[in-house]
Chains A and B, each alone.
Chain A
Amino acid sequence: MERIAIIQGIRTPFCKMGSSLSELNAQDLGRIASRELIERFNINVKIIDEVIFGNVSQPPDAANISRVIALLSGIPLTTPAFSVHRNCASGLESVVTAALKIQSGDISCVLTGGTESMSNIPFFLTKKLQDIIFQFNRSKTFLEKIQTLSKVRLAYLEPKIGLNLGLTDPVCGLNMGQTAEVLAKEFGITREEQDQFALRSHQRAIAAREILKEEMVAVIPPTRYETAVEFDNGPRENQTMEALAKLKPIFDKHLGTVTAGNASQVTDGAVALLVMSERKARELQLEPLGFIRAFAFAGVEPERMGIGPAHAIPKVLKKAGLPLKEIQAFEINEAFATQVLACMKALASDRFAQEFGFTGFTGEINPAGLNVNGGAIALGHPVGATGGRLILTMLKHLKRNNLHLGLVSLCVGGGQGAAMILER
């Protein structure tokens, strides 16, 4: 089967919700990353056969956001586009979908990526209010209108916050933070362990500021156009254990351990990656950042969604025929510190391997080789974009350090895990 090359990638800085990038919506962020990718690496847009972006919140004003991004980025209008959604793994899913389409022989080059503007997720009206508005519009007489309006109750006016709806699992009824609490309790992961993990994420991200800048395009946000955003704004230079310890648990106020400090940040950002067949890359004399070795997805209980990587990682290793210890670098998305720690514990346990038939493909992950440039706790987690960032950050890391094998993985809301092995 055709090996899939990832040629280059660009991302916007990741900025906390409501901060520097909040004036730009998801389609803007996506087109900024895409266009910079095209221009900086002198990509001829005519070689792109399809545009596939991942996005979770699906802005109502940009149906099929990939098509919007494609047109706004100057991709020829004859090039088709569609969007993918695998919740938190949407960015990675775009690359996987592209790989499968290329391997099927249908096409040979895809502009992929992920984008999310969590600042721009709308609020919704209650269903009751919506019904009344509909009825009001249909009322013919003045009296009818008055009667309809009189049905409005104060409670109907409370908006539903789209972001919260998206972060709540409709099947198990828990929100993502609560699923993290489930794992903390199951695996006995302490508050301190989690805070320690969070602190390290910040320290590493701060140390890697210039390294991460390589992946980025500076963005001058409208409408003021005053300064450029050149760095991620999530990492805190003076983060301490003391400061982390002061934060109150959010999801379980009394017995919980998950705080805003040891969970990923709610963030805006986008990533664009150019994916093509190895043959096509050679034909165009492009030097790829790296190649896809294998990918895998796994399903788990929705209320334990954070354990997803512990299932997806051995699954992908098995597919690639590689033992875990051969992987030289790991990126596991830090949705929650406790969830990453739980995965590491599970992977280190023989019983877990036996129970799920992963024997031979699990083992201990050395924390020194995991998320070496910081993770979502510091950098933020623009849900649709993160999968793309992990791939980009990993490929650049492998290249910088002349490593050969890296593995990226994410837990996925709704109870899934995603994993991909990259090689060069």
Chain B
Amino acid sequence: MPVTFRTENQLGVIEFNHPDSKVNLLTADCLKKLDLILEEVKEKEDLKAILLVSGKKDVFIAGADIKEIEKITQTNEGEDKAQAGQKVFNKLEDLKVPTIAVINGVALGGGCELALACRYRIGTFNPKVRIGLPEVNLGILPGFGGTYRLPKTIGLSEALKIILAGKVISGMEAYKIGLLDRLFPQVGIHEQLLKFIDEILSSKKTKRNQSRKGFLNAFLEKNPLGRAILFDQTRRMVLQTTKGFYPAPLKALEVIKNNFGLNRNQALKAEAKGFSELVIGSISKNLVKVFYLTEKFKKYMPPGTENILPKRIDQCAVIGAGVMGGGIAQLLTQKGVWVRMKDIDYKLIGNGLKTAEKIYKEAVKKRKLKPHEVKRKMAQITTSIDYSGFKSVDMVIEAVVENLEIKNKIFKEFSNEVSDNVILCTNTSSLPVSAMAQATRHPANVVGFHFFNPVHRMPLIEVIKTPFTSAETLATAFQFARRLDKTPILVNDSAGFLINRILLIYINEAGRLLEEGWKIQTIDQIMTDFGMPMGPLTLSDEVGLDVGIKVLHILEQSFGARFKAAQIFERVYSNGLLGKKMGKGFYIHPMESRRSKILKRIANKEIEKILGTRSAQVLDHDEARKRMLYLMVNEAAMCLEEKIVEDVDTVDLGMIMGTGFPPFQGGLIRYAQEIGIDKIIEDLNTFQDKFKSDRFKLCAHLANLA
């Protein structure tokens, strides 16, 4: 039974304990059982109080069952589903006996809403306590009364912050805003609870934790004008963060706004309606798919490594103190790994230290770290201009300049300086890892470990397997990536691996569009309108055109003319307009020291000059977008055909995490499937005829993806 009822000395206990599962979910079945229990309890007037507890370790209730939500395709189905839950929770709320949710772990979504329907919420000091309403992340809104009860419990502005951002907070944070009424130590919690119940029953004082609302918030919430300002500001903020692509937060905001002052029945009805509208939409369906994807890759291990015990990594050498090396050193030390940073001179190493410290200082500014913690983390980076100290490392990550000759030489050198069973990684973005492996004494220990820039923000790592890579090496790389809070994907050794290969065919096409007469901003806007976090030319500026050109050359060598760099790229490159690091690329980038962050980028006029006069063409935005996107789809099909990656899921997840491909589109291949693979094939054929270029030549495997 997922939920049971018992009485202990005049105390009612409703215990959630889902059989055969590590977590509790509010399935339809569980709700039904809870409903029956509440019917029974309603009659028992001799009870002093009712505790709602979980039989699971570190979990109260993890939420509703996503599988049930996923299946909803009709609005009335959605409404029914929400109302069914709401009805049960109303029953809970209406009990005369005081109800207390005892939260000693995760209480998310429906779990949090259940707690909100109780009269009191008690948390513990268990660090696993996480409370929140993450529904909007799945493209829906809390449908079991969360939009109605949370504002009532903690105030409008705090509630909006949680619901609209799908935020999940710690027990301490929940206590601070009044979501939890008490925090008790796990040890001796039973006695504490009994005391608390006595307190409730005996005195008339308020036992609820009155949140320490700021004066401003209280002022805003208490009068209509203040509320109008609050809603308006919140709406603007939501639009800024979602760029209008995600309807759920806006819908939730609308529901909360319209419901203000309405009674429970009216409010819950509106909530159920809002929920049902969102839940049947394709965006929600895509986001659920992405959720499953991320869950899958959180646990995924490459075939053959499932039963291998990965090596523990405590010390890691990082060779190369550039932007990547510095970023990697920062990430590693943040996760408690000691770093030996090596480069050819101390000035370069100094720059690497500066890079790392800058990232840490940003974290201090955002109050994620305290200054003493930064000092302590920075102390974990030691430096060297030779291979001294390499004997004591468990792993080496090479992040030097992208030049195979140099990399081979370095691999040969340091493989002689380390112990025999050390994992040797390269952070190359496109060069053959197998070649580096063969330069070492232990090719089985070599693996590609490709971080994305900026290292501390990008959640993906491409783990590159060569024919020599041992299962232990692979397992260790996967486990280590997870320790760094990154998601690893398995990619076979081939030029550009997965992400850069797909990304560059796209950026290159943007270059061709530029040559054809399109404006820089227009090209970028077409893609940001599609949902990409930045346009292809902005991206080029961020990464640096020199890097892009270099990878294009490598890709051209391996895959031929379709990767031949657009002429304009070569010319802009030779003019030294490399992008942000030079202050000028396709756009003008003012120096950071000028404090005001420019919101609108200005295109660099020099590019126009380099382009010269271009033939005026009839510009078709649709066609431009299709060219850029479908080339990516076609390239991804080739990657799958060549077995660079295992499956479509890897492509979809990789593109979302590695390039920011819009999650609401569900991933590159899923998006293509939604458009229709046959339509894409048709368009690609048209392009090939129209532009007389083989770069649009169909990958035979594409048809199989339908």
Q: Which residues of A are interface residues toward B (Cβ below 8 A)?
A: 28, 31-32, 35-36, 38-40, 42-43, 72, 74, 218, 220, 222-228, 230
A227 and B351 alpha carbons, distance in the complex (Å):
10
Query: A31 contacts which chain B residues (CB < 8 A)?
Result: 379
B395 at the interface (CB under 8 A from A): no
Beyond A31-B379, A220-B383, whether A42 also contacts B392 by CB under 8 A is yes
A225-B350, A226-B350 are contacts. A72–B376 as well, Cβ < 8 Å?
A: yes
Partner of A218, one of B315, B353, B383: B383
Q: Could you jot down 10 A-B contacts, CB within 8 Å?
A: A35-B382, A39-B340, A39-B382, A42-B392, A43-B392, A74-B380, A225-B351, A226-B350, A227-B346, A228-B383
Of chain A, the residue at the smallest CB distance from B350 is A225
Which of A35, A39, A226, A228 counts the most B-chain CB atoms under 10 A from its CB? A39
A222 to B389, Cβ gap below 8 A?
Answer: no
Name B's A-contacting residues (CB within 8 A): 315, 338, 340, 346-347, 349-351, 353-354, 357, 375-376, 378-380, 382-383, 385, 388-389, 391-392
| Other-chain contact of A225, B357, B379, B380, B391 (Cβ < 8 Å) | B357
A230-B357 Cα distance, complex, nearest whole Å: 22
Q: With the chains together, A218 CA to B315 CA distance in Å?
A: 20
A369 vs chain B, min Cβ distance (A): 31
Cβ contacts under 8 Å, B383 to chain A: 218, 220, 228
Q: How far is the CB of A385 from chain B (nearest CB, A)?
A: 18
B390 → chain A closest CB, angstroms: 9
Closest to A72 in B: B379
A37 CB → nearest B CB, Å: 10
Closest chain-B Cβ to A203's Cβ sits at a distance in Å of 28
Query: Which listed residue, A28, A35, A228, touches B349 by the CB 8 Å rule?
Result: A228
Taken together as a complex, chains A and B put the C-alpha atoms of A40 and B389 apart, in Å, by 4
Residue of A nearest to B340 (CB): A39
B-side contacts of A38, CB under 8 Å: 392
Partner of A39, one of B347, B351, B375, B392: B392
> Taking the nearest CB of chain B, how far is it from the CB of A245, in angstroms?
38
Contacts of B347 in A (CB 8 A): 226-227
| In the bound complex, CA of A21 to CA of B380 (Å) | 18
Q: How far is the CA of A227 from the CA of B354 in the complex (A)?
A: 12
User: How far in angstroms is the closest Cβ of chain A from B622?
Assistant: 50
- A378–B449 CA distance with the chains assembled, in angstroms: 49
> Chain B nearest CB: distance from A225 CB in Å?
4
A226 to B346, CA, bound (A): 8
Residues of A within 8 A of B353 (CB): 220, 222, 225
Q: Check B357 against A223 for contact (C-beta < 8 Å).
A: yes
* A373 CB, min distance to chain B CBs, angstroms: 22
Most chain A CB within a 10 A radius of its CB, from B375, B382, B385:
B382
Most buried by A among B349, B351, B379: B379
| Residues of the B chain whose Cβ atoms lie less than 8 Å from the Cβ of A32 | 379, 382
Q: Give bound CA distance, A35 to B392, whole Å.
A: 12
Q: Which residues of A contact B354 (CB under 8 A)?
A: 225
Q: How far is the CB of B537 from chain A (nearest CB, A)?
A: 33
A74 partner residues in chain B, CB cutoff 8 A: 338, 380
Bound Cα distance A349, B340 (Å): 54
Asked whether A222 and B382 contact (CB < 8 A) given A39-B340, A39-B389, A39-B392, the answer is no
A42 and B391: CB pair below 8 A? Answer: yes
A32, A223, A225 — which one has the most chain B CB atoms within 10 A of its CB?
A: A225
Least CB distance, B312 to chain A, in whole angstroms: 13
3 tightest CB-CB pairs across the interface, nearest first?
A228-B346, A39-B389, A225-B350
For B389, the closest partner residue in chain A by CB is A39
A168: min CB distance to chain B, Å: 32
Contact (Cβ within 8 A) B392 A227? no
B350 / chain A contacts, CB cutoff of 8 Å: 220, 224-228
Residues of the A chain whose Cβ atoms lie less than 8 Å from the Cβ of B375: 28
Given the known inter-chain contacts A222-B357, A223-B357, A225-B357, please indicate yes or no for A36 contacting B382, CB distance below 8 A. Answer: yes
Instruction: Give the nearest-CB partner of A230 in chain B.
Output: B346
**Cα of A228 to Cα of B345 in the assembled complex, Å:** 9
| Minimum distance in angstroms from B555 CB to a CB of chain A | 36
Instruction: State the CA gap A227–B349 with chains docked (Å).
Output: 9
Chain A residues with CB below 8 A from B315, complex form: 39
CB neighbours (8 Å) of A28 from chain B are: 375, 379
B-side contacts of A218, CB under 8 Å: 346, 383, 385
Closest to B379 in A: A72
Contacts of A72 in B (CB 8 A): 376, 379
Residues of A within 8 A of B382 (CB): 32, 35-36, 39
Q: How far is the CB of A410 from chain B (nearest CB, A)?
A: 30
A218–B357 Cα distance when bound, in Å, is 19
Q: Chain B contacts of A36 at CB under 8 A?
A: 382, 389
Q: How far is the CB of B393 from chain A (nearest CB, A)?
A: 8
Contacting residues, chain A, for B376 (C-beta < 8 A)? 72
A331 to B353, CA, bound (A): 37
Q: Chain A residue with minimal CB distance to B388? A: A40
Contacts of A42 in B (CB 8 A): 389, 391-392
Complex CA gap A226/B345 in Å reads 11
A residues near B392, Cβ cutoff 8 Å: 38-39, 42-43
Q: Knowing that A36-B389, A218-B385 touch, tell me 8 more A-B residue pairs with CB under 8 angstroms.
A: A32-B379, A38-B392, A39-B388, A74-B338, A222-B353, A225-B350, A225-B357, A228-B383
Q: B477 to nearest A CB, angstroms? A: 23
Residues of B within 8 A of A226 (CB): 347, 350
Closest chain A residue to B356 by CB distance? A225
Q: Are A220 and B389 in contact (CB under 8 A)?
A: no
* A215 CA / B300 CA spacing, docked (Å): 48
Q: Are B357 and A220 in contact (CB under 8 A)?
A: no
Contacting residues, chain B, for A223 (C-beta < 8 A)? 357
Q: How far is the CA of A31 from the CA of B379 in the complex (A)?
A: 8
Closest residue of chain A to B383, judged by CB? Answer: A220
A136 to B389, CA, bound (A): 55
Task: Name the CB-closest residue of B to A39.
Answer: B389
Closest Cβ–Cβ distance, residue A214 to chain B (whole Å): 12
Residues of A within 8 A of B391 (CB): 42
Distance (whole angstroms) from the CB of A381 to the closest CB of chain B: 26
- Give the Cβ gap from A71 to chain B, nearest Cβ, in Å: 8
- Residue numbers in A under 8 Å from B338 (CB-CB): 39, 74
Return the chain A residue nearest B347 by Cβ: A227
A39 to B388, CA, bound (A): 8
For B340, list chain A residues within 8 Å (CB). Answer: 39
Bound-state CA distance A20–B640 (Å) is: 56
B355's nearest neighbour on chain A, judged by CB, is A225
Shortest distance from the beta carbon of B315 to any chain A beta carbon, whole Å: 8
Q: Nearest CB to that of B315 among chain A residues?
A: A39
- B357 contacts which chain A residues (CB < 8 A)? 222-223, 225
CA distance A40 to B315 in the complex (A): 13
Q: How far is the CA of A38 from the CA of B338 in the complex (A)?
A: 12
**Nearest Cβ on chain A to B392's Cβ, whole angstroms:** 4
Contacts of B389 in A (CB 8 A): 36, 39-40, 42
Q: Which residues of A lie under 8 Å from residue B385 when comparing CB positions?
A: 218
State the CA gap A32–B346 with chains docked (Å). 16
B residues in contact with A227, CB < 8 Å? 346-347, 350
Docked Cα-Cα span, A43 to B315, in Å, equals 12
Give the docked Cα–Cα distance between A220 and B384 (Å). 10
CB distance from B641 to the nearest CB of A (A): 47
- Please give the distance in Å from B536's CB to the nearest CB on chain A: 34
Which B residues touch A228, using CB under 8 A?
346, 349-350, 383
| Chain B proximity of A370: nearest CB distance (Å) | 32
A225 closest partner in B (C-beta): B350
Return B604 CB to nearest CB of chain A, in Å: 31
In the complex, which residue of chain B has the Cβ closest to the Cβ of A71? B376
Contacts of B379 in A (CB 8 A): 28, 31-32, 35, 72
> Closest CB of chain A to B386's CB: distance in Å?
10
Distance between Cα atoms of A72 and B373 in the complex (Å): 11
**Closest Cβ neighbor of A221 among chain B residues:** B350
What's the least CB distance linking A106 to chain B, in Å? Answer: 27
Distance between B373 CB and nearest chain A CB, rounded to angstroms: 12
**What residues of chain B lie closer than 8 Å to A39, measured between beta carbons?**
315, 338, 340, 382, 388-389, 392
A173 to B385, CA, bound (A): 49
